[in-house]
Amino acid sequence: MSAILEVRNLKKHYPIRKGLFSKQVGAVKAVDGVTLSVERGETLAVVGESGCGKSTTGRAILRLIEPTDGEVFFEGKDVRKLPPEELRRFRTDMQMVFQDPYASLDPRWTVQRTLEEPLLTHHKLGKNELKSRIEELMEVVGLSPYQAHRFPHEFSGGQRQRIGIARALALNPKFIVCDEPVSALDVSIQAQVLNLMQDLQEQFGLTYMFISHDLSVVKFISDRVAVMYLGKVVELAPTSELFTEALHPYTKALMSAVPVPDPNVQKERIVLGGDVPNPENPPPGCTFHTRCRYVKDECRSVIPELREISPGRQVACHLY
Ligand code: SF4
């Protein structure tokens, strides 16, 4: 496998301005130096609590928001330096599936219009070509082409997410950022949509970045997992290894909350004390030190770098 996407030291800081002249007095460090790569054809999950910067990372990679700093290489090209024409092409290669399919679909548009929009913006298709492409997209996500003239409110939540997926597929992308794509759906429907996404990945050779806070979903869908805390990746590992033996104390705490199917297996639940610190004013040193049960002096002042400690396993912690 080779990397389709490489992200180096990506940052997204939101300035805090105050006073009459809107002077910048600080910054909310939503993403603060994320480095990771995504292999072609794999699913990399990005997990963490709400506010850890996982969605902002996905949006900054796609340039839906402009990063403050860092590099994003897609198929070897730095997307932050692409001229307008290449950026247009890049936009067709990378797509996004959003969390709330109802909010991300225009309620005044039929499915047909929703799917037509990207096709007409990027390709010159004749009327018949457009019609057959829309029929094809609907079939591929398990919807009937007869439903093309319906509006979003006429569909169930799962069907609406299928429309969102069809829209993301319209331009034959290579890479899709899936931002909590099933968290708004009933559990019974989640499995259907996840299965569909896996089938589509195989059928079209897609690469996914799968953003989620739900570890059971992540275990099911991903090949590797990046764990984020306060805007940084603190651990990156193959999914099976992470679920067998988490290394970073924060990952251990997250994992301890995952239910075990075997009632004979006793697992210690690690409850994290305190809240996630304010990203406006993160703690010095290791940003997790205010909640870590293994904290030592060094942790309060020295930032632990994300380092490879065995093939494919990276962790940012002074214990390793
Ligand atoms: Fe805990 Fe220190 Fe490791 Fe941070 S660096 S996770 S505070 S042991």
Domains and CATH numbers, the chain: 3-93+173-315 (3.40.50.300), 108-170 (no CATH)
Given the CA of residue 248, which atom of ligand 1 is nearest to it?
6
Helical ranges in 177-238 per DSSP H: 187-204, 215-221
Q: What value, to the nearest 5°, has the Cα angle with vertex 271 and ends 269 and 275?
A: 160
Least confident of 32-41, 123-132, 173-182, 201-210: 123-132
Q: How far is the CA of 259 from the centre of ligand 1 (A)?
A: 25
Question: How many CB atoms are closer than 10 A to CB 282?
Answer: 19
Q: Whose CA is nearest to atom 3 of ligand 1?
A: 317
The alpha-carbon radius of gyration of the chain (Å, integer) is 21
Given the CA of residue 296, which atom of ligand 1 is nearest to it?
2
Given the CA of residue 292, which atom of ligand 1 is nearest to it?
1
Q: How far is the CA of 231 from the centre of ligand 1 (A)?
A: 16
Q: How far is the CA of 299 from the centre of ligand 1 (A)?
A: 6
CA neighbor of 221 nearest in space, from 246, 248, 247, 202: 202
On whether the CB atoms of residues 31 and 211 are closer than 8 A, the answer is: no
* Helix (H) or strand (E) run with residue 45 in it: strand 43-47
Stretch 39-44: mean pLDDT, rounded?
Answer: 96
Given the CA of residue 294, which atom of ligand 1 is nearest to it?
8
pLDDT for 254-270, tens place per residue? 998 777 777 776 777 88
Given the CA of residue 286, which atom of ligand 1 is nearest to it?
4
Q: What percent of the chain has pLDDT over 90?
A: 71
Which residues have a Cβ under 8 Å from the Cβ of 159 and sit 6 or more positions away?
Answer: 143
What pLDDT sits at residue 24? Answer: 84
Q: How far is the CA of 286 from the centre of ligand 1 (A)?
A: 6
Query: What 3-state DSSP class applies to 77?
Result: strand
Query: What 3-state DSSP class applies to 41?
Result: coil
What's the CA gap between 94 and 96, in Å, rounded?
A: 7
What's the distance, Cα to Cα, between the start and end of the chain in Å? 28
Query: What 3-state DSSP class applies to 160?
Result: helix
- Residues within 6 Å of ligand 1 by CB: 248-249, 286, 288-289, 292, 294-295, 299, 304, 317-319
Angle between helices 84-93 and 111-122 (to 10 degrees): 140
Query: What 3-state DSSP class applies to 12?
Result: strand
pLDDT for 110-139, tens place per residue? 999 999 988 888 877 788 889 999 999 999
pLDDT for 201-245, tens place per residue? 999 999 999 999 999 999 999 999 999 999 999 999 999 999 999
If pLDDT is split at 50, 70 and 90, which confidence band does 99 have? confident
* Ligand 1 pocket mutation pick from 230, 248, 272, 286 by most atoms within 8 angstroms of CB: 286
User: Residue 32 is which amino acid?
Assistant: D
Q: How far is the CA of 171 from the centre of ligand 1 (A)?
A: 44
Return mean pLDDT, the chain: 91
Q: What is the pTM of this model?
A: 0.93
